[in-house]
Structure 1
């Protein structure tokens, strides 16, 4: 079986915003407590943050991390997480039916972000709170001093402001599961008023308004239109969320889900254009896909806690999906979709980063390790920076529930002019056949393959564990060559590959 691709230097999608490789950490399960923060751990630093986890995050080169939620933020009082730890209150979290000690708040999280080399994207509570609390939080975080809230920050040990530029105006406000759920008109008006107030403080902030929680919501896509009609000229991004599941154990349909993702992106992008035209404005709004990942493995085991059967535990194991090799392919496909839509998707956050539906897992007092999905995320984040190419792909395909013709070969490509490389990220969706791929490198003075990584496994359900951390891991590929202006390689059945060409 064969596939052909044209990669033309002048046929581009656009410059990739590095923040498309962002992540998310919520006060949920063991994401914060026992995830990034475990003061008794052998690797913990002076702030109680796990050094082994920090090393794995640094290696991912994560540009931005969204915090503190998520559903958690819609009933969160940010003031609970500042000041002396011994004076902070323990609160009940209605979203996940747990309790939170508030041992980690904005100060601790900011210090952790500095230690791993990432930026904060903060969310304000527009569920149980509103404009006043958002502007107070902003003043606390960003004002240099000489006002009530900024002086309180200084009193709490941080003289310099945090200077956070990215702010989410609530979370999933279209969802009836959300504390303070609102309809589109109600939320749109509140978000617009909040955005106006925050821009009165700093007109250069990047503000993200809530879009649909998923593409199956009854209010989608009218939600986007109505909310943007209220907020368009006051915000920079609209957020979208999507999680991927294979509950029916149907691998071909599971691996075609990124078609649904791309229609979701394209529909909202068209809605943005519609509202822009209606407003007669030059202002542009982009998409922040600030929650995405595979999520379904842990659903059954989570029910007892989420239904309140265990009372209000602090940092219990929740949403701890153990990812398999099949999920490697899915995460690679999702990242390819984001790269191919980098003209409209400017921010994206894998949800989440540690323990909770995450590429990194930890044991309390024990090791941290890379889940299977760590690797495609790593390859895209580290090597997928530059200009996305608009590829012409001719691949055999199959009929799926999501598309009449799902190509067996899915790929994206990034031209990094700074280091003179061309990177390809490829997935073979075929379960039994290898596919020979010929990529015509038009306009590129191609040199040689400098890196070739392959991920395959005999079992789709293979996983990594604390005892066997490398059951699913990349290996050095063979056979990828540049000759006569083309890159040629073979994709084994059900495989993920990254190939880098020096130009």
Structure 2
């Protein structure tokens, strides 16, 4: 059964209910869930750090200047690993500027975003913030303007217990215990002409290999991420990965992926199918990495770190003048306000990461606060949840055990960008230790309710303990500074579980999650 194929015909059609079916089997296991799949990203960009997580004068600020209302929202969000400090920012960053007495730290120009960096938040402060939020610090090193020596210095300062020049400096700076950072990014988006220190795949691959080899000489247990393509639309996509990995494959553990999506030209239908592009991205990088593996006759299988993904209205920001030469401290940059439609696509992207969790071992929602973020703040004022907050927080909380890939039968609809797209997408998780399972669903139809019948008999589920949906009659409804609670999760009403069959009705343009026991 195929839905109407144009926006005009969908709009004209009377609302109907379209049936779909799915079967969830334990035999269709993808991978055990690594909590790093629910990571996020904090860059020194706009108001992400300053006026975001850090605001010394705020009523909730602690002794480090961190907003504790934001800390509580980050904990509720459930982000597990935080990539830091960039992003484009890292390609010009001197990590030494952010350690030592705050009053002695230099103020610098950040060329990536044309802003002033005060360095009031650096490695030691941010590591303490990560502990407040129960998250793991994932560090990036500067391979844009710097290289191997600086990476080794940062590693020594951060991780060596004591007795060396830089570990003793860390201790003198007030941090006696090492940070024990396990995961390190070898630069950022080095394929991009916008990147400070941009280089060819050949040159970056060689530098990444040498840097990784040196860092693993210092600590062989480190997990290192080589820069992959900045997006599937890059002209070097695929070839970049091949060349970089032919140099660095045996020295690194992950290759990175970055992808952002937005609605363009009023084409909501194509936008709702954005996860198809993410799937293509993942499959292409996996195929390329495996090609290099076999070419090198390696026994190691490389994983992907999807360490930047989100909704980002990049076209609109490029057309604005918010990144300019005024050289301001914490300017308002990239502060997208997200709609219900954005959150539905966002939730579907997270589902796609789960569906590919056998190869996508780590992921970072970019970013965390204010800058294309699920959490927004006002100086001296409130912190609140964007629409995208809800799919992430619920999925992070409910997804436990291992990922299961359902077998789905449903109608399709025509898109201008991706061709035929399924009306419904489904992924599930189950935890054999607790007996708890979860099902996550998206209805991409703009007009029609989907009635999905799901065979969950193999999960031994007998009761639905939670049923949430994100839907609104206005798909462009948003949470704003003046109306922070306009959009929230609703209880999914039309749900039943009888004789091993879960039946649920999904409203048009909706994301839903169910917990079973």
- Structure 2 length as normaliser, TM-score? 0.95
Cross-structure match for 1:66: 83
CA distance in 2, matches of 1:347, 1:118: 13
Deviation at 1:177, TM superposition (A): 0.3
Equivalent residue of 1:500, what SS? strand
Cross-structure match for 1:407: 422
Does residue 237 of the first structure (1) align with residue 237 of the second (2)? no
Q: How does 1:116-127 map to 2 (within 5 A)?
A: 116-127=133-144
Does residue 472 of the first structure (1) align with residue 487 of the second (2)? yes
Structure 1 unaligned spans of 5+: none
Does residue 14 of the first structure (1) align with residue 31 of the second (2)? yes
Do the aligned partners of 2:270 and 2:418 also contact (CA within 8 Å) in 1? no
CA distance in 1, matches of 2:502, 2:132: 39
Please, which of 440, 452, 466 is the counterpart of residue 451 of structure 1? 466
Does residue 334 of the first structure (1) align with residue 349 of the second (2)? yes
Equivalent residue of 1:443, what SS? helix
CA distance in 1, matches of 2:433, 2:302: 28
Say how many residue pairs are matched. 500
Deviation at 1:88, TM superposition (A): 0.3
Runs of 4+ in 1 over 4 A off after TM superposition: none
Please, which of 193, 216, 219 is the counterpart of residue 176 of structure 1? 193
CA distance in 2, matches of 1:454, 1:288: 28
Cross-structure match for 2:291: 274
Cross-structure match for 2:331: 316
Deviation at 1:248, TM superposition (A): 1.1
CA distance in 2, matches of 1:225, 1:361: 39
CA distance in 2, matches of 1:377, 1:422: 17
Structure 2 unaligned spans of 5+: 1-17
CA distance in 1, matches of 2:129, 2:36: 18
Does residue 24 of the first structure (1) align with residue 41 of the second (2)? yes
Cross-structure match for 2:161: 144
Deviation at 1:380, TM superposition (A): 1.2
Does residue 429 of the first structure (1) align with residue 444 of the second (2)? yes
Do the aligned partners of 1:212 and 1:239 also contact (CA within 8 Å) in 2? yes
Cross-structure match for 2:242: 225
Cross-structure match for 1:248: 265
Deviation at 1:303, TM superposition (A): 2.9
Do the aligned partners of 2:37 and 2:363 also contact (CA within 8 Å) in 1? yes
Considering only aligned residues, what root-mean-square deviation do their CA atoms show, in Å? 1.2
CA distance in 1, matches of 2:401, 2:268: 32
CA distance in 1, matches of 2:139, 2:145: 17
Alpha-carbon displacement from aligned partner over 1:289-348 (angstroms, at most 9, x marks no partner): 00010000783487323232xx10010000000001111111111011111101100111
Do the aligned partners of 1:2 and 1:395 also contact (CA within 8 Å) in 2? yes
Please, which of 368, 387, 395 is the counterpart of residue 402 of structure 2? 387
Deviation at 1:403, TM superposition (A): 3.3
CA distance in 2, matches of 1:62, 1:430: 30
Cross-structure match for 2:226: 209
Structure 1 residues 319 and 298: CA distance shift in structure 2, 3 A: farther
Structure 1 residues 451 and 355: CA distance shift in structure 2, 3 A: same
CA distance in 2, matches of 1:289, 1:32: 22
CA distance in 2, matches of 1:302, 1:291: 22
CA distance in 2, matches of 1:135, 1:385: 36
Do the aligned partners of 1:260 and 1:402 also contact (CA within 8 Å) in 2? no
Deviation at 1:359, TM superposition (A): 0.1
Do the aligned partners of 1:14 and 1:342 also contact (CA within 8 Å) in 2? yes
Equivalent residue of 2:408, what SS? strand
Deviation at 1:279, TM superposition (A): 1.4
